[in-house]
A and B are shown apart, each in its own frame.
Chain A
């Protein structure tokens, strides 16, 4: 199902990125999820894109007239869940 998303709609709630900002990033040259992430921070917040990535993919695909599977996925980076600096500092290095 296609969603109809206005420019002022928040897509990435962690980083408060709107659909308009994502479309602007695509006009600025972003061709995939990673390109939009670097320009807007969409998918860089607490949930690491678990909530918004599908919609970010759909918006990019629509703007570029591609299929969603042609606009990539974000790369995962550790820590994939939040962890405190204290725990990291106490960890044993191997």
Chain B
């Protein structure tokens, strides 16, 4: 039972939140970052593979190492890190209610009164429904990745993966590294969704990638958990073709069907939203400084549209700098110089077959912000 003040509250200690907290703290802000998990770093600590991209974005580094580096930088910058701390509400006047687990294992509600808030709550996995999808053994690919790479527990012995985007491909490979059999990777589209280099690795390891197929049913075994997956071919409308069903024995079905931005705190803060198919669902409108329609509420990372760790890092940096501008710790022109350099890097990340569409969409959304919100910002 306590009340605390802070210059900046950052919600979510993934790549976006950590980099926001580092920038703001280095500019002299008193920053608290909260995360509901036991470890900071968000999804980075699950990423045991090396990243692509430019050297400015740590290409060749593993996500887990980037996470450790960010954490050290945040500590050096004097950021206060609260783990096992869950924001349960944002109330008028920027009152933030946080359930914080104390060292003795008890929890208490803390009311934080920050000047600026950065919401970097990431994204959650989409689900695909088929008969018996609620059976134990059906899980998100990200959940399976957490089990093997963070908790060092195999989700089962034999896996059928649905979805051939990069998450489906990478997690399939990592499941094999963890000692699971991957019986098949099933994809409804006529071609693989992710990078060819990841798909080639899977194929070389002998995993069949079944295109134009979907899962129609989880078979329930005697113990009430998954004992198989019924797959079927699909027609051009992705509808299963009767008579093509086949059962694959497995005890785990993992779903890699994309992500959607996590919106609950952004909604509670009163930010104006827009629906965006490219970025995975509803997202907050924001300007080029990552400030939302509510003054002093900034956003960064996947919660502004599902992208990558690299783009999240850079958006977080911009949000942190902008929060420092609001606090009067850096002049607008100094900040613009820094932010412009980051935007240039962001543009270079949003290139190529996957990135270009995102750059176009991001530019469109910032334009939309200026059309719809302009100077009509609300006060929290």
Contacts and interface: CB of A to CB of B under 8 A. Distances in A.
Interface string B1-28: 1110000000000000000000000000
A83 B107 CA distance: 9
Interface string B107-151: 111010000000000001011110101100000000000000000
Interface residues of A, number: 34
Contacts of B129: 3, 5, 9-11, 55
Nearest to A67: B275
Q: Which of B90, B97, B134 has the most CB of A within 10 A?
A: B97
A7 to B, nearest CB: 12
A5 to B, nearest CB: 6
B2 A54 contact: no
A44 B87 CA distance: 19
Contacts of B89: 78-80
Main secondary structure of the interface of A (DSSP, over half): loop
B282 interface: yes
Interface residues of B, number: 43
Interface string B80-92: 0000001111110
A48 B126 CA distance: 14
Given A3-B128, A9-B129, A76 B111 contact: no
A2 B238 contact: yes
A75 to B, nearest CB: 7
Contacts of B3: 92, 94
Contacts of A83: 86, 88, 99, 109
Interface in B236-277: 237-240, 260, 262-265, 267-268, 273, 275, 277
Interface in A1-32: 1-6, 9-11, 13
Nearest to A80: B264
Contacts of B265: 76, 80
Contacts of B58: none
Given A87-B109, A90-B108, A10 B134 contact: yes
B189 interface: yes
B267 to A, nearest CB: 4
B367 interface: no
Nearest to A2: B238
A28 B108 CA distance: 43
Contacts of B134: 10, 13
Contacts of A73: 263, 267, 273, 275, 282
A8 to B, nearest CB: 9
Interface of B: 1-3, 36, 86-91, 95, 97, 99, 107-109, 111, 124, 126-129, 131, 133-134, 188-189, 237-240, 260, 262-265, 267-268, 273, 275, 277, 281-282
Interface of A: 1-6, 9-11, 13, 48, 50-52, 54-55, 68-69, 73, 75-81, 83-84, 87-88, 90-92, 94
28 contacts: A2-B237, A2-B238, A9-B129, A10-B133, A11-B129, A13-B134, A51-B124, A51-B127, A52-B127, A55-B129, A73-B267, A75-B267, A76-B263, A76-B264, A76-B267, A76-B268, A78-B91, A78-B97, A79-B88, A80-B268, A81-B36, A83-B86, A83-B109, A87-B99, A91-B109, A92-B2, A92-B3, A92-B111
Given A1-B189, A50-B264, A69-B275, 10 more contacts: A11-B129, A73-B267, A76-B263, A76-B267, A78-B88, A78-B268, A79-B89, A80-B265, A87-B109, A91-B108
